[in-house]
Amino acid sequence: MQNIEDYISDNRERFLKELIELLRIPSISADSAFSQDVLDTADAVKSALEEAGCDLVEIHETDGYPIVYGEKIIDPNLPTILVYGHYDVQPPDPVELWESPPFEPVIKETAIHPQGAIFARGACDDKGQMYMHVKALEFMVKTDQLPCNVKFMIEGEEEVGSNNLATYVSLNKEKLKNDIILISDTGMIANDVPSITTGLRGLSYVEVEVTGPNRDLHSGLYGGAVANPINILAKMIASLHDENNHITIPGFYDKVEELSQEERAEMAKAPFSLENYQKALDIETVYGEKGYSTNERNSIRPTLDVNGIWGGYTGEGAKTVIASKAYAKISMRLVPHQDWQEITELFQKHFEAIAPKGVKVKVTPHHGGQGYVTPIDTIAYQAASKAYETTFGKKPIPQRSGGSIPIVSLFEKELGSKTILMGFGLDSDAIHSPNEHFGVWNYLKGIETIPHFYEYFTEMKKA
Ligand code: BES
Ligand code: MN
Ligand code: MN
């Protein structure tokens, strides 16, 4: 029987070509100008699942973009793995900073990816990682080595909050029934330091609007005499962190999980070079909450960040004006036990409370979700760990990530299922940024590792 390594070397070029074709479709869920492309991508995923050997593939319509559902049930008595991924991508902006067009994939070598990396929006997040699962399935089906049942649920609205997926999941509990959910939509420490993501942060995303005078004013005639909403907004935002970079919203930290010294010591063992980190970002020093390391700041600690701020005149040249309105988009990354709706309310109350007289403030919640922690004392984690050990020759390190996939906690709530986060991307792959890429080695390593998870999970489940 053919093994996965040989299968990959026989099919390497095709695996790359197929992914490149998928990456050519600009499935930007946030921008309605691309809605046909998003729909076309769903069709492409459907065909790919059919060709890989699913017995049933359906496009499930929602109030937004469709969900591609596929399955291959070989024996109802065997365990079932549910694979989740997303076929939508982030907008590529700013496009001028891309070295090659975002939807014209090219393979280029980089220092970290000597075997080349595929440069395209979605290469790593998440088309490339999702497609590893399709190719792993193809291998298992074509070589008659699929050890258990598999279901696929690939959505097209992850990058805009997965609103319709939540409804879909609650309406299709029976159909989606599974023993474990498997997701590749995160990263790992380095190609020679495999890790499995054991935590995701929650998220609360809000937009704020500060209104001063009822119209834009001449900044000479009125300047100094009325509240300038942009000045005020900047002040309000600045006050959200204190001198130790703690967030000042009352109650914000009340439910934050405090890790024990032992847990923090364990975390600190993960290899990390502050020097390389700073060098890669061209910053003189890192910056953040007092009392915590960089790896703690971006995983086990909550944050508040302005993602965008605007108002007034930003065109060419100068215009002397006091704007009527100023805006900002703000995200808060949350950690276990913080409830995103509660935090959203705390933010809203606080932001309204700190607004000085002379301006009006409006806070509009955007979307959010709970964080997630993967238990490691489970069959699923052990099977994943063993799969990595087999293909990387090293035991993977459990590591919490700073990113969010809000739907994961919802899966647990609605389906009662745990999730294994097998990410093969690297932080340096520039997801959501210009020049996103995914290592060819990582792509193929993912395809190689996944079937071992199926094998070990099924074995351990039976035992
Ligand atoms: N795949 C990412 C999340 C991610 C990336 C988690 C790397 C861990 C490591 C996902 O597509 C994403 O971008 N999520 C958003 C939240 C979503 C609600 C828009 C995020 O984390 O900003
Ligand atoms: Mn993603
Ligand atoms: Mn993303």
Could you say which of 1.10.760.10, 2.160.10.10, 3.40.50.620, 3.40.630.10 is the CATH number of the domain covering 4-200+372-462? 3.40.630.10
pLDDT surpassing 90 at residue 256: yes
> From the CA of 437, how far away is ligand 3's center (Å)?
13
Closest CA to 66 of 35, 91, 42, 92: 42
Lowest mean pLDDT among 6-10, 38-42, 265-269, 290-294: 265-269
Question: Ligand 1, from 28, 84, 158: best to mutate by most atoms within 8 Å of Cβ?
Answer: 158
Q: Alpha carbon of 191 to those of 142, 218, 219, 348, 395: distances in Å? A: 28, 57, 55, 42, 13
Helix (H) or strand (E) holding 48: helix 35-52
> From the CA of 135, how far away is ligand 1's center (Å)?
23
> From the CA of 186, how far away is ligand 2's center (Å)?
7
% of the chain beyond a pLDDT of 90 = 97
> From the CA of 403, how far away is ligand 1's center (Å)?
5
Ligand nearest to the CA of 407: 1
Specify the ligand 1 atom closest to the Cα of 401: 8
- Which fold would CATH assign to domain 202-256+302-369? Alpha-Beta Plaits (3.30.70)
Average pLDDT over residues 63-76: 98
Helix (H) or strand (E) holding 281: helix 274-281
Residue with CA closest to ligand 1 atom 18: 161
Measured from CB, residues less than 6 Å from any atom of ligand 1 are: 125-126, 158-159, 161, 185-187, 200, 203, 401, 403-406, 431
Residue with CA closest to ligand 1 atom 6: 403
Specify the ligand 1 atom closest to the Cα of 205: 18
Closest CA to 231 of 208, 210, 215: 210
Whole-number pLDDT of residue 10:
98
Ligand nearest to the CA of 408: 1
Place of tokens 């500060």: 210
Residue with CA closest to ligand 1 atom 10: 405
Which DSSP state fits 367? Answer: E
What are the tens digits of pLDDT across the range 337-362?
A: 999 999 999 999 999 999 999 999 99
> From the CA of 457, how far away is ligand 3's center (Å)?
28
> From the CA of 175, how far away is ligand 2's center (Å)?
24
Q: 423-433 burial by CB neighbour count: b if 16+ within 10 A, else e?
A: bbbbbbbbbee
Average pLDDT over residues 67-79: 98
What are the tens digits of pLDDT across the range 194-245?
A: 999 999 999 999 999 999 999 999 999 999 999 999 999 999 999 999 999 9
Average pLDDT over residues 31-59: 98
CA distance 368 to 289: 23
Residue with CA closest to ligand 1 atom 15: 404
- Using 50, 70 and 90 to split pLDDT, how confident is the model at 441? very high
Whole-number pLDDT of residue 284:
98
CA distance 127 to 174: 27
pLDDT surpassing 90 at residue 443: yes
Which DSSP state fits 256? Answer: P
CB within 5 A of ion ligand 3: which residues?
A: 125
> From the CA of 150, how far away is ligand 3's center (Å)?
24
Specify the ligand 1 atom closest to the Cα of 185: 1
| 52, amino acid identity | A
- Using 50, 70 and 90 to split pLDDT, how confident is the model at 156? very high
Whole-number pLDDT of residue 413:
95
What are the tens digits of pLDDT across the range 272-301?
A: 999 999 999 999 999 999 999 999 999 999
Question: Ligand 1, from 88, 126, 159: best to mutate by most atoms within 8 Å of Cβ?
Answer: 159
> From the CA of 86, how far away is ligand 3's center (Å)?
9
Whole-number pLDDT of residue 383:
98
> From the CA of 90, how far away is ligand 3's center (Å)?
6
Helix (H) or strand (E) holding 183: strand 180-183
Residue 176 CB partners (closer than 8 Å, separation 6+): 82, 151, 153, 169, 415
CA 129 to centroid of chain Cα atoms: 12
Place of tokens 């065109």: 315
CA distance 441 to 115: 6
> From the CA of 214, how far away is ligand 1's center (Å)?
38
What are the tens digits of pLDDT across the range 117-150?
A: 999 999 999 999 999 999 999 999 999 999 999 9
Whole-number pLDDT of residue 451:
98
Whole-number pLDDT of residue 463:
85
CB 406 within 8 A of CB 208: no
Average pLDDT over residues 251-274: 93
Whole-number pLDDT of residue 1:
77
- Looking at every residue in the chain, the average pLDDT score rounds to 97
Q: Parse the chain into domains and list their residue ranges.
A: 4-200+372-462, 202-256+302-369
Strands 419-421 and 202-211: unpaired
Specify the ligand 1 atom closest to the Cα of 427: 7
Specify the ligand 1 atom closest to the Cα of 160: 19
Closest CA to 413 of 83, 173, 179, 204: 173
pLDDT surpassing 80 at residue 433: yes
**Own/partner long-range contacts of 226-230 (Cβ < 8 Å, ≥24 apart):** 226/322, 226/358, 227/356, 227/358, 227/359, 228/322, 228/323, 229/311, 229/323, 229/324, 229/325, 229/326, 229/359, 230/311, 230/312, 230/323, 230/326
